[in-house]
Each structure stands twice: as structure tokens, then as C-alpha cells.
Amino acid sequence: MAADIAVLIAELDENGTLEAVKEGLDGGTAPLALLERLQAGIAVVGERFETKEYFLPDLIMSGEIFKEAVALIEPHLAGAEAAAKGTIVMGTVEGDVHDIGKNIVITMLRCNGYEVHDLGVDQSPATFVAKAKETGAPLVYLSGLLTIAFDSMKKTVEAFAAAGLRDQVKIFIGGGPVNQAVVDYTGADGWGKDPGEALRLAEQHT
């Protein structure tokens, strides 16, 4: 059943997805393999949203299913008690309330040994700066799905400079419409096109 997880979550089948995850765990399927299937299904949801086959309520529903499924998987992750590889502050920037992509990236990072402080959505530049100061995190990840998030990302980068922290942190951005041009506009240090790239950036800079 575990092989069907991507299809089930893509079809927004909550009960089917959760049952498939439970069966996979009980059957000895590697937790990270189950997570990858969930991510594949979420990618399909995103494609269907872009082609207007799915709408905002569908995105929200898929995100809730994903959270529930991850809650089942996390207790089975090996090395959960190991010392963190590094500390990261992450959130969706001001003016944007999307969190599906952010949550996938956070799960990927945590599964690979990083301590991630999730600020949530619609967070001001000052909130990112304050959390980075509090935690001493050398990495800050800014997420946004809407193009209006670009200005918020730029303001957040500028807030770190104003606080005298710009040289102490690497700031990476991500989200559906993000590309190198957005990196140049915001003044960020780079971007991740997918969760795998977000993990690689963390590994390169910790």
C-alpha cells in the first residue's frame, strides 16, 4: 500500500493516505521512503493547482493531510535524539499565508538532523531578525508562494543588514515563483527550487 501514498494524497484521500502510511510503517518501510512518497503526491497537487484543476481549498486540505501523515512518521525517524547538525530559522514572509512547501522543507531538514525553528506564516522582517538573534541560527530560510512575497523577502534581507547581522547569516529563499532573478532582487544568498536543494544548501553552509 505504501507505494500508493503519492496517488492517495494527490487525490486528497485523507483516510487512505493515513492508512497507507500506517501500513508502510508496520510493514517495515523506511520512514524517509514514506516521506518521499508524500512529497511526490504534494508535487502533483501543486501541478494541479497551477493548471486550475485544484483550487485553494484543495491546497489547504492536502497540507493538512501531509501534516497528519508526517506526525505518524516522525516518531519512527532514526537518530531523532542525535545532536543537531545546525540551526535554521524558517518561515513564510509577511503578506503570504502559504505553508505547504515550507512544511515539506522543514520536515526534510528535521529528518536529516537539523534543528528548525518554524515561525509559521505571514511573518514580519522583525520576527525573523529576532528569532535569529535568539537562536544564533546561521541560516535563515524565507518562503513565499505569491509574487507579492518578493518585496517582503527584500525587506527581510534589509532588516538583517540594518540589525548588523547580514554578515553573520546566510539567507535563502524558496517558493514556486522564485528563481535567480528574485535572488538578485531581494539580495538573498541563494534559492532552493525543491526540498532536496534546500537540504543541500544547509549541508553546504553548516
Q: Give domain limits for the chain.
A: 2-76, 87-204
What was the pLDDT predicted at 62?
86
Q: Matching CATH topology for 2-76 and 87-204?
A: no
What was the pLDDT predicted at 27?
93
Query: Is the entire prediction scored with pTM above 0.75?
Result: no
Contact 99, 121 (CB under 8 A): yes
* Residue 143, all three cell numbers: 518562503
What was the pLDDT predicted at 9?
94
What was the pLDDT predicted at 3?
53
Q: How many degrees, rounded to 5, is the angle at CA 57 between CA 54 and CA 59?
A: 65
Which CATH architecture fits 2-76? Orthogonal Bundle (1.10)
What was the pLDDT predicted at 188?
98
* Average pLDDT per 10 consecutive residues for the chain, totaling 206 residues: 80 96 93 84 81 85 87 74 79 91 81 87 97 97 93 98 97 93 97 85 90
CATH class, domain 87-204, is alpha beta
What was the pLDDT predicted at 83?
59
What was the pLDDT predicted at 48?
86
